[in-house]
Amino acid sequence: MECKRIFILNGHPARDTLSQALAMAYAKSAKAQGHDVRMAHLSDLAFDMDYENAGYVNSKPLEPALEQVMADIEWCEHLVCLTSAPTGQI
C-alpha cells in the first residue's frame, strides 16, 4: 500500500465529542498503516469567526491558525473532514 499524506480536520466546535474521538481513532489507525498524518480540531484554533467589520465584502488577512489549516490542506493527498450536526438534525 502506498503511504499518503493525510490531513484530518475535526470541525466540531466543542472538545471531548464523538467527532474528536473519531478523528483520533482515524489518525491512530492511519499512522499504524504508515501514513503521514496531520490533524486540527476547530475547538483548538484561534480565529475571528464573525469577520468583525470586514464581512464578506472587505477582505482581511487570515489568522495564523487558519493559514496553517490552509497549508495542511494544500500539503495533504487525502482530506478527512468531520463536522457536527445540530441536535436532532441527523
Report pLDDT digits (tens) over 56-70.
Answer: 677 778 889 999 999
Q: Is the pLDDT of residue 84 over 90?
A: no
Residue 85 has what pLDDT?
Answer: 63
Does residue 1 contact residue 71 with C-beta atoms inside 8 Å? no
pTM for the model: 0.82
Q: Is the pLDDT of residue 89 over 60?
A: no
Residue 83 has what pLDDT?
Answer: 85
Q: How confident is the model at residue 53 (pLDDT cuts 50, 70, 90)?
A: low
* CA Rg value for the chain: 15
Q: Which residue shows C-alpha cell 486540527?
A: 40
Taking residues 15-41, report their average pLDDT: 96
